[in-house]
Structure formats: C-alpha cells, structure tokens
A and B are shown apart, each in its own frame.
Chain A
Amino acid sequence: MIVSWIKSFSKPAEERKPLFEKLMSDSYRQAYQMAYRFTSNRVDAEDLLQETYVRAYRFFHRYDETMPFTSWLYRIMTNIHIDSVRKNSRLRTVSIDQGNPETGSTWEIADDSNQADHNMVSNSLDEPFQLALKAMTPEFRMAVILADIDGMSYEEIADVMDTSVGTVRSRIHRGRKQMKEYLQASFPDSLPEVTN
C-alpha cells in the first residue's frame, strides 16, 4: 500500500494527467448515476460531479492504487455531498428563523434551490423513488445507493464512507425502512410484489 502510494506520489504531473483523464472517462457515467441519486436533480448532480473530479485531481497524488478508483472517487463525492447537505440545512434553519419574504430574505438562494429540486424531480419518471431517496437521512441514503444501485458490498461501503461494517449494516437497514415507510405513506401503489 505504501509502495503504491509512493509510486503514484512520485509520478510527474505530465504522467498523472493522462492517467487521470483515462480514469475519468471510464468512471464518469457511473459516477454521474451516483451523483444524480444523491442529489435528486441534474443541475446539482453535475455540480457535484464537477467538484468531485476537481478535488480528486487535486489530491490524485494521494490515491492508493490498491483501492478501486471509483471507491476512492465515491469517498470524495460522499464527503462533498454531506458537507453541502449540512450547509444547506443550516441555511434553511437560518431562513426559517430570520428570513422575511416581504423584504426579500438574504438567504433566499437556499430555499429557492429546494423548490427547484422538487420541480426537477417531479418531471422524472422515477419520481416516487427519487423523492423517497431525497427524504432519507443523507448517511442512510448514500449507504443504500452504494449498496442497491452500485451493488457494492458492505465492506466496500465501509471503506467509502470511512466507517465500520456494523455502521453500514445499520445505515442500510434504517435507510430501506425509511424508504419503505415513505413510499407506503406517499405512493401506496409504488411497492409492487417482487415476482422472483
């Protein structure tokens, strides 16, 4: 592990660029799926993807090649996403406490984006599931997405989310329960029988 770290660290920039470019071309579709399911809309998904690759390239010298590139990339993406969710929820709290719609709230950007998210989600075919994902606790949502949409094992998810397998187990279970309860309450017909 240390050897490969040193190896990638010692690679000159002109060697690292084509390697990163190739990894990026190979991974961006899959990474976009993740970003879209995390954020629930295209605009935020593109921003998240953009930010993830920019940061990944900045820290590419730290990439340990024994780890799959997508796992490393998702680790960066989940961190950025969690940060941005926390920041937005903080802004919304401020907006509820201090915002004044009459005078034009200083914090209106956060609130408007929330409404915009909803509008964009409503236009998509898998609306119920995307809204259910959006309603979930962010950590649960990410664990469930990594497991069910990307098909990762609990151990891989633990690696990506930098936590224990036990925590992943609990996040996935609680996440699926949140999703089930949301769908049963809001879209009662959306949980059909599984035939297999």
Chain B
Amino acid sequence: MSNCHRIKSLLSAYIDREMTGEEAYQIREHISQCASCELEFEELRRVKHLLSTLPAVEPSEHLLDQVKANVFTDEPKPAISRKGIVVTTSMAAAMLFLTFALMQWIQVKQGGTNGLVPADEMVATDVRTVGDRASGAPVYMPVNLASAPE
C-alpha cells in the first residue's frame, strides 16, 4: 500500500485540478477503491472549501487615506502599534537627526565636548529593537525615546 502515500501527497493538486488528466484519472480510480485515501481527500476538500468561503474582512474606513498619506509623503507619519511606535525608515532617519541635534544642544549647554555621547552608543542603549533599515521593515522604538530635556 505504498501507493497510498504517493496518492495522498497528490490529493491537494487533484482538488485544485493542477495536474495532468492521466494523473487525475489514476487518483480517481484509487480513491474509488481505498477508504483511507478517500477520507483524506474529503477532509482536504473541506479545508479548501472552508477557506474559500471565509467572509471578507472590511478594512477600516480611513485606511486608504492613511496608506496614501504614508506612500506619497517623504516623511510618513508613524503608525501607532501596540506598546511601541512603528517608525518607517525615513522616520528613523529623522530620529537620528534629532539625536544629533540633541547632542549639539548638550554640547552647547556644557560648553565643550565632554558630554557628547557617540550616536552609535546612544542608539544601542535607547532603541530596543532595530529593524532592517535597508529593507524598510518597521523599526520598533520605545515610546519615551524622544522625550525632550527640561
């Protein structure tokens, strides 16, 4: 009955009619004589049926406008996501710029370079999870990262 193993591995393609007529004929013949393969076929067919009849999910009313705003502006607005803020690549760049500006401010205030924190160190300490910037994947940052000095 090692044939059953081969037949079972082809059942999904059979359900999707993604095979040659010859293969489909073999499977049809086998199923009509083998209870185990017939049961597997019925169950897989049910899975496909359930998925293809799932109700459509309605996007929120303003989603398209929000997406458009993000796509067509150079500085996309961050989307609030769970505990952290999801920042896009250009937003992350803006954050780095702010960090740099803050460093300059500290430098001016302390009247020297003693208080200067290297940008790399600052990012490494403050950013919890840094995404892949080159790919533009979301970068997670703690909410209080940009909290302003007094």
Asked if B119 CB lies within 8 Å of chain A CBs, one says no
Q: Which residue of A lies closest to B45 (CB)?
A: A194
Q: Which residue of B lies closest to A110 (CB)?
A: B129
User: Could you write out 25 A-B pairs with CB less than 8 Å apart?
Assistant: A17-B72, A21-B68, A28-B67, A29-B59, A32-B57, A36-B57, A46-B63, A47-B79, A49-B63, A51-B137, A53-B70, A54-B70, A83-B137, A84-B137, A87-B131, A110-B129, A149-B54, A169-B18, A172-B16, A173-B12, A176-B47, A183-B47, A191-B43, A191-B46, A192-B46
Q: Which of B54, B70, B86 contacts A129 (CB 8 A)?
A: B54
Convert B107-132 into 0s and 1s, putting 1 for each residue whose CB lies closer than 8 angstroms to a CB of A. Answer: 00000000000000000000011011
Asked if B133 CB lies within 8 Å of chain A CBs, one says no
Bound state CA distance, A21 and B65, in angstroms?
11
Q: Which residues of B contact A148 (CB under 8 A)?
A: 48, 51-52
Convert B61-73 into 0s and 1s, putting 1 for each residue whose CB lies closer than 8 angstroms to a CB of A. Answer: 0011011101110
Give A residues with C-beta under 8 Å from B: 17, 20-21, 24-25, 28-29, 32-33, 36-37, 42-47, 49-51, 53-55, 57-58, 80, 83-84, 87, 91, 106-110, 112-113, 116, 125-126, 129, 144-145, 147-149, 151, 153-154, 165, 169-170, 172-173, 176-177, 179-180, 183-184, 190-194
Q: How many A-B residue pairs have CB under 8 A?
A: 146
What are the 10 tightest A-B residue pairs by CB atom distance, in nearest-first order?
A148-B51, A173-B12, A32-B59, A36-B57, A194-B49, A154-B18, A176-B47, A57-B71, A148-B52, A191-B46
Q: Are B135 and A83 in contact (CB under 8 A)?
A: yes
Q: Which residues of A contact B137 (CB under 8 A)?
A: 51, 80, 83-84, 87
Q: Are B59 and A109 in contact (CB under 8 A)?
A: no
Q: Are A53 and B71 in contact (CB under 8 A)?
A: yes
Q: Are B83 and A109 in contact (CB under 8 A)?
A: yes
Which of the four size classes fits the interface of chain B?
35 or more
A184 to chain B, nearest CB (A): 8
Q: Are B12 and A54 in contact (CB under 8 A)?
A: no
Given known A109-B140, A180-B43, contact A129–B51 (CB-CB < 8 A): yes
Q: Which residues of B contact A33 (CB under 8 A)?
A: 56-57
Q: Are B64 and A28 in contact (CB under 8 A)?
A: yes
Q: Which residues of B contact A177 (CB under 8 A)?
A: 44
Asked if B20 CB lies within 8 Å of chain A CBs, one says no
